[in-house]
Structure 1
Amino acid sequence: MAAPTPRSTELDPTYNARNLLVLEGLEAVRKRPGMYIGSTDSRGLMHCLWEIIDNAVDEALAGHGDRIDVVLHKDGSVEVRDKARGIPVDIEPKTKLSGVEVVFTKLHAGGKFGGGSYNASGGLHGVGASVVNALSARLDVEVDRGGVVWTTSFRRGVAGEFDGEGATAGFTPAKGLRKAGRAKKGVTGTRIRYWADRQIFTRDAAFNYDELVTRARQTSFLVPGLELVIRDERGHEPTEESFKHDGGISEFCEFLATDQKVTDVIRLTGTGHFTETVPMLDDAGHMTPTDVERDLDVDIAVRWGDGYETEVRSFVNIVATPKGGTHVAGFERALSKAFTGVLTGTRLLKSGEEVIKDDVLEGLTSVVTVRLAEPQFDGQTKEVLGTPAASRIVAKVVQTELEKFLTSAKGAAKAQARAVLEKVVAASRTRVAARQHRELQRRKTALESSALPAKLADCRSNDVDRSELFIVEGDSALGTAKLARNSEFQALLPIRGKILNVQKASVGDMLKNAECASIIQVVGAGSGRTFDLEQARYGKIIFMADADSDGAHIRCLLATLFFRYMRPLVDAGRVYTAVPPLHRFELTNPKKGQDKYIYTYSDAEYQRKSAELMKKGVRWKEPPQRYKGLGEMDADQLAETTMDPRHRTLRRITVDDGEAAASVFDLLMGNDVAPRKEFIVQGAYELDENRIDV
């Protein structure tokens, strides 16, 4: 998509309100699809399908409809059919639109708010259907309701009517629903068929049948009695699979387990209540903070086996939360508390022994489900539950119910409880024995071995003045950096995530830390008082981390290590930070002598550059690439922007006032929390919200 033609060729240095772009309705979804569906590749395409399927499952979860059909058509479209109540077709008073049009054209609108239609639901933010509509070249809806088949179509979020089949048929905008025929008496339901917009999604984005089958099977476990039929018509022969499980999460837990059982599947169930403050519309149309009473239902299936692996699947309503959240945190915390409480004072656990979470999780297969109205998720992709009260309620239910099982006097339950208690104690003793063995084998100090770490990708040159050591964040960035570097004089040392904060840790802890030890060992000049600048193996030490808040934290931790234990390098001006770009413009009509690719290194520079290009009539491929990390760059891009001495930008870390620098490091990274809190609170009033990396 080309940049718009500027009104004037003169460069306007001012920045006024007229420079701001306001996106209305579904424009925001098409402009920034990644904010709503995560990405525009196959993963994002599948997420759109989940949104439509989840809406149908929510109906089944509310007791309406017992079958959902999903069909992958040959022409690239996908269809979801249900036999639930059907989307409302009457007129919504505020918008004067039909219920179908409201659901598919208005963000944050639907039946999931206010608690009137659903106690618990999976499609939760009220943007699912409208987002899918905005990102579809064509979307057709048919609703059976009140004895009538109602229908309408949309093209990229605009309601209207197509004059033929497929996404390329002629289209006429038109509001309102059309009657397509009569529905059988008592028959209700919804049929949605859509064609994903290839202007948005990548060429290779495709629906994954295996992933769809896995999700359907999982949902059939979570909603007992619901049948899901998946049909793929894209191949030579149609493929169809049907899933229906009446055993619920107990059957799911058995399905996931791969080892011999130590216990049967144990169900831990209960309910908790909490008060949540949410903004609600008052009679005057104002949003007023209101305390709302919520119920949270907990249903968990656990089973211990004789293996060592842990399998914990977590769900909120019917939405999988692969990255956990507050409900999983409460579950895991309660596990260790329950076992510790039961084992303390018994003959099984000797004096001085302790049980931790990892001991309890060994050999555990579990399905954790909670149901509540309007849960808080971290992001529209719903991978992490954020509702704070879930942690407390789940922990209370799990601890109470699990302690009942572990102290049961009934024959079969008592034997199983004894077996799992013995298993957990054995895991604790094995863990302690393994740690003691590692400590016996560990070298006395981190600097004793003369061999350089295996993960170091060294350079060929021995010329200290010329050589450079890049300390790279993460193994993913290391692979690209290896291809981008000049191996003659550039060495690479990867570190895993955030290293130890050496301002708080003792010298002994610092030397025991693998990452810190590797850095000191590779630099080769010792540490602390014994540091010898002449022995340093490299002329430049360069921190290369992502251009985000985590990367800034890693650079700060590295700076702390060098300032505290290798300060002569800092004083000599031999420590730098690389400056990777944030954005890349790919010009579609570069002028003579102009580079095809233009990089910007901050959001402010991005705004200036885009405005400058627009004024000059230079077009670029939309959207400009936004780098989330070093690993997203190709090797030639990383070399050109960050590693090649001819083009890169480096920031040198210098110390003008040693005492002041030491004071700042102690303030920001030291043990004393109160001064740091005061510093953060004072700085919060001066911080521009737009600079926060969220």
Structure 2
Amino acid sequence: MSQKQYDESSFRVLKGLEPVRERPGMYTRTDSPCHMIQEVIDNAADEALAGFAKSIHVQVLRDGSITVTDDGRGIPVGPHPVEKVPVVVLAYTVLHAGGKFDKKSGNSAYAFSGGLHGVGVAVTTALSLRVEVEVRREGKIHQVSFVDGGREIGEIVEAGNCGRQTGTRVRVWPDGRYFDSPRVPMNELERLLRSKAVLLPGVRVILEIEQADGSFSKQDWRYEDGLPGYLREMMNGFEPLVPVYSTEKYAGEDEDYAPGEGAAWAIGWFDGHQIGESYVNLIPTVAGGTHESGLRAGVFEGVRNFIEHHSLLPKGVKLQQEDVCGRMSFVLSARLLDPQFQGQVKEKLNSREAVKLVSSMLLNPFEAWLNQNVEQGRAIADIAIRQAQSRLKDAQKVEKRKSSGVAVLPGKLADCESGRIDENELYLVEGDSAGGSAKLARDRETQAILPLRGKVQNAWEIDPNRLFANAEIHDVSVAIGVDPHKADAPDAVLANLRYGKIIIMADADVDGSHIQTLLLTLFLRHFPRLVAAGHVFIALPPLYRVDVPAQGKKRPPRRFYALDDGELTSIRDRLIKEGFREDQLEVGRFKGLGEMQPAQLKETAMAPATRRVLPVTLGELAHAEIDALFDLLMGKGEASGRRAWMELKGNLVEADL
């Protein structure tokens, strides 16, 4: 058997745009070039958001290329003072280069933008056969091209005079080798451009598509009514139960947020249909995020306060957020100075401060509108109260079925009040100490806590008939309401499931990882339908806490959490770039969940808007392959096999020693 050489020459350094071409899926979507083109459109939209562009013109041509033109300021073409390379070349060929850094110091070209780290259009170049850029700036027309994924960079050519015209025109030929389909889906492109027109008042957005005969079909968007008109159009004829409420609010100089941070929104309650669309600095966040959580929190608090003020809530009814927001449709456009997204494609906002920002901006105007329009307020309250009463009836039905069974719930289970499976969560927590903190941190309405004493028994080779001899396994089974079963069991085995999410929450150390593994082994072996149906999750509590001192009156003290050493280093580097000295940062390491304050545990592992929780899925592996791997790793008679595996692949494991 030949051995592969492993020495200094085995290492390869990816330079320039090579990382994007090697792993395009880390930087953009690979189903189509749509997101890659969106990066160019977003740059034009950022010019419009900053007040310098009044039109965005997109052409889809028969040769597969797409042209994006704006009348903004035009990308600078002169040499960078440090890099000595034309800025337009830096923008299109260098990762982590752009005009959207240094927002806090005032040196950024944009106060608010979707771009964060200068990766966007460089990715476009890397995955294109050719990119042509034409810049109209300072009375001159400048042209430059990038060929073969940026491997060939043309000279900047002065192509004539443009008078007082300014702007940027970019033509992109996507490289079909990197995408499942080389064509941009027109419905997705139209939806993206239409949303830009909605979110940019006064900006004209045009899409032209070249036809087979060389002519162009044209669509032209301009929304005079803004967000409420767009929401009514998206509802496609459904009549609102109350008039759509729409306004905007942004922070001033004397508020807790950066000037200009805030949101615009349109919300309505429609009969029979719900939609929700959200944007951050004009970037569509199709997977939602913390700004949507802030919207729902503000709406819920406003309606709840209105109901309490007018004494509308019937006795015995307790209102929940889903009662108010479950039938609500909305369009939300948030502006954040430094948004943090989940991944380069920016489908979900992760910025924790966005929850408070949006909810605080919305609450006062919304409460004022409700009290100025009492009839509409009462209609919204009636929708919420009827939904709450329906939920309580469902919970009573579940309670009767539960009380008629022979199984007795574990005494140490701190159960939740809600009976709705789709919103209930059970946290399996390591130890009584951590369980105590979790009970104080939880939402009593929807979150249940089951502390586990010590490590659960390795259940991989336990006979199912002897499974309940272990007290901890017995309590887990009874608490979740599901009996042990095989992988080919029917869906009916989950009929009495009591929680939609079963979340394993253990310390962020070796022992915690072992407990996670033992519980996953239990579920995979004896409750496989629970895993296959997507009900099992793992919480990721932090290992480190970083306390940051205040910066004047407008920058209160902050706290960050890091999962591991790598994330701690990243947080430190970012804070040092903000101007903090390393000795100003106080770093603490959590010894375990029981050491965390309930508020810290709630923020990092239990509050849906800010926690980190991973779903457990089976992926594409067949059950036979999974069983073989767990036989090797968890079987009592496989010690020699495990040793051989560790000798062969031990270098692939990240171990906390």
TM-score range for the pair, normalised by the shorter chain length: 0.5 to 0.7
Matches within 5 A, 1:321-400: 321-344=285-308, 346-400=310-364
What amino acid maps onto 1:353 in structure 2? V
2:233 aligned with 1:269, yes or no? no
Contact 2:250 2:259 (C-alpha < 8 Å) held by counterparts: no
Offset of residue 127 of structure 1: 1.3
2:402 aligned with 1:432, yes or no? no
2:182 aligned with 1:194, yes or no? no
Percent identity over the alignment? 29
Mark the CA change 1:502 to 1:363 in structure 2 (over 3 Å): closer, same or farther.
Answer: farther
| Corresponding position of 2:117 | 125
What amino acid maps onto 1:120 in structure 2? F
Q: Matched residues in 2 for 1:563 and 1:127: separation?
A: 43
2:76 aligned with 1:98, yes or no? no
Q: 1:414 aligns with which of 374, 387, 397?
A: 374
Q: Matched residues in 2 for 1:558 and 1:109: separation?
A: 43
| Corresponding position of 2:15 | 24
Offset of residue 19 of structure 1: 2.1
Contact 1:153 1:159 (C-alpha < 8 Å) held by counterparts: no
Offset of residue 219 of structure 1: 1.3
Look up the SS of the partner of 1:18 in the other structure.
helix
Offset of residue 379 of structure 1: 1.1
Matches within 5 A, 1:212-223: 212-223=189-200
2:442 aligned with 1:510, yes or no? no
* TM-score, normalised with respect to structure 2: 0.63
Offset of residue 274 of structure 1: 12
What amino acid maps onto 1:259 in structure 2? F
| Corresponding position of 2:548 | none
| Corresponding position of 1:231 | 208
Contact 2:486 2:526 (C-alpha < 8 Å) held by counterparts: no
Q: Matched residues in 2 for 1:315 and 1:322: separation?
A: 8
Q: Deviations over 1:574-624 (max 9, x none)?
A: xxxxxxxxxxxxxxxxxxxxxxxxxxxxxxxxxxxxxxxxxxxxxxxxxxx
Q: Matched residues in 1 for 2:53 and 2:352: separation?
A: 32
Matches within 5 A, 1:225-264: 225-236=202-213, 238-257=216-235, 258-264=237-243
Contact 2:485 2:526 (C-alpha < 8 Å) held by counterparts: no
Contact 1:335 1:399 (C-alpha < 8 Å) held by counterparts: yes
Contact 2:274 2:329 (C-alpha < 8 Å) held by counterparts: yes
Look up the SS of the partner of 1:399 in the other structure.
helix
2:521 aligned with 1:559, yes or no? yes
Look up the SS of the partner of 1:332 in the other structure.
helix
* TM-score, normalised with respect to structure 1: 0.60
Mark the CA change 1:445 to 1:19 in structure 2 (over 3 Å): closer, same or farther.
Answer: farther
What amino acid maps onto 2:245 in structure 1? I
Mark the CA change 1:371 to 1:559 in structure 2 (over 3 Å): closer, same or farther.
Answer: same
Offset of residue 118 of structure 1: 1.0
Q: Matched residues in 2 for 1:304 and 1:292: separation?
A: 30
Look up the SS of the partner of 1:416 in the other structure.
helix
Q: Matched residues in 1 for 2:251 and 2:475: separation?
A: 41
Look up the SS of the partner of 1:92 in the other structure.
coil
Q: 1:298 aligns with which of 263, 285, 288?
A: 263
Aligned residue pairs, count: 468
Offset of residue 318 of structure 1: 0.4
Look up the SS of the partner of 2:332 in the other structure.
strand
Contact 2:207 2:220 (C-alpha < 8 Å) held by counterparts: yes
Contact 2:132 2:171 (C-alpha < 8 Å) held by counterparts: yes
Mark the CA change 1:99 to 1:337 in structure 2 (over 3 Å): closer, same or farther.
Answer: same
Contact 2:251 2:258 (C-alpha < 8 Å) held by counterparts: no
Contact 1:502 1:560 (C-alpha < 8 Å) held by counterparts: no
Q: Deviations over 1:138-196 (max 9, x none)?
A: 11111111222111111134375xxxxxxxxxxxx54x41112222x111111111211
2:45 aligned with 1:57, yes or no? yes
Look up the SS of the partner of 1:21 in the other structure.
coil
Q: Deviations over 1:509-559 (max 9, x none)?
A: 332x5xx56659949xx9xxxxxxxxxxxxxxxxxxxxxxxx999975453
Offset of residue 334 of structure 1: 2.6
Contact 2:245 2:267 (C-alpha < 8 Å) held by counterparts: yes
Q: Matched residues in 1 for 2:630 and 2:334: separation?
A: 50
Q: Matched residues in 1 for 2:284 and 2:138: separation?
A: 34
Contact 1:308 1:362 (C-alpha < 8 Å) held by counterparts: no
| Corresponding position of 1:542 | none
Offset of residue 342 of structure 1: 2.7
Q: Deviations over 1:405-433 (max 9, x none)?
A: 2333xxxx121111111121111112222
Offset of residue 249 of structure 1: 1.4
Look up the SS of the partner of 2:176 in the other structure.
coil
Mark the CA change 1:81 to 1:150 in structure 2 (over 3 Å): closer, same or farther.
Answer: same
| Corresponding position of 1:642 | 625
Look up the SS of the partner of 1:81 in the other structure.
strand
Matches within 5 A, 1:481-560: 508-511=478-481, 513=482, 516=483, 522=489, 556-560=518-522
What amino acid maps onto 2:388 in structure 1? S
Contact 2:486 2:527 (C-alpha < 8 Å) held by counterparts: no
What amino acid maps onto 1:133 in structure 2? T
Contact 1:294 1:372 (C-alpha < 8 Å) held by counterparts: no
What amino acid maps onto 2:521 in structure 1? A
Contact 2:194 2:221 (C-alpha < 8 Å) held by counterparts: yes
Mark the CA change 1:95 to 1:263 in structure 2 (over 3 Å): closer, same or farther.
Answer: same
2:113 aligned with 1:143, yes or no? no
Structure 1 vs Structure 2 CA RMSD: 4.0
Look up the SS of the partner of 2:172 in the other structure.
strand
| Corresponding position of 1:209 | 186
Mark the CA change 1:564 to 1:630 in structure 2 (over 3 Å): closer, same or farther.
Answer: closer
What amino acid maps onto 2:120 in structure 1? G
Mark the CA change 1:552 to 1:347 in structure 2 (over 3 Å): closer, same or farther.
Answer: same
Q: Deviations over 1:119-144 (max 9, x none)?
A: 11123331111110111111111111
The higher relative CO (CA closer than 8 Å, separation ≥ 6) is in 1
Larger radius of gyration: 1
Offset of residue 378 of structure 1: 1.4
Mark the CA change 1:360 to 1:309 in structure 2 (over 3 Å): closer, same or farther.
Answer: farther
Q: Matched residues in 1 for 2:257 and 2:248: separation?
A: 23
Q: Matched residues in 2 for 1:139 and 1:32: separation?
A: 20
Q: Matched residues in 2 for 1:563 and 1:136: separation?
A: 47
Contact 1:119 1:372 (C-alpha < 8 Å) held by counterparts: no
What amino acid maps onto 1:217 in structure 2? R
Matches within 5 A, 1:459-474: none
Offset of residue 211 of structure 1: 1.4
Q: Matched residues in 1 for 2:272 and 2:200: separation?
A: 29
Q: Matched residues in 2 for 1:401 and 1:374: separation?
A: 25
2:2 aligned with 1:38, yes or no? no
Q: Matched residues in 2 for 1:292 and 1:268: separation?
A: 19
Deviates more, 1:266-275 or 1:347-356: 266-275
Matches within 5 A, 1:164-175: 174=154
Offset of residue 387 of structure 1: 1.7
Contact 1:84 1:190 (C-alpha < 8 Å) held by counterparts: yes
Mark the CA change 1:122 to 1:239 in structure 2 (over 3 Å): closer, same or farther.
Answer: same
Q: Matched residues in 2 for 1:106 and 1:130: separation?
A: 6
Q: Deviations over 1:314-335 (max 9, x none)?
A: 1101011111112111222233
| Corresponding position of 1:540 | none
Mark the CA change 1:650 to 1:562 in structure 2 (over 3 Å): closer, same or farther.
Answer: closer
Q: Matched residues in 1 for 2:313 and 2:291: separation?
A: 29
Q: Matched residues in 2 for 1:632 and 1:359: separation?
A: 37
Structure 1 residues not aligned, in runs of 5+ = 1-8, 161-172, 276-290, 448-500, 527-550, 567-627, 657-686
Q: 1:83 aligns with which of 71, 75, 79?
A: 71
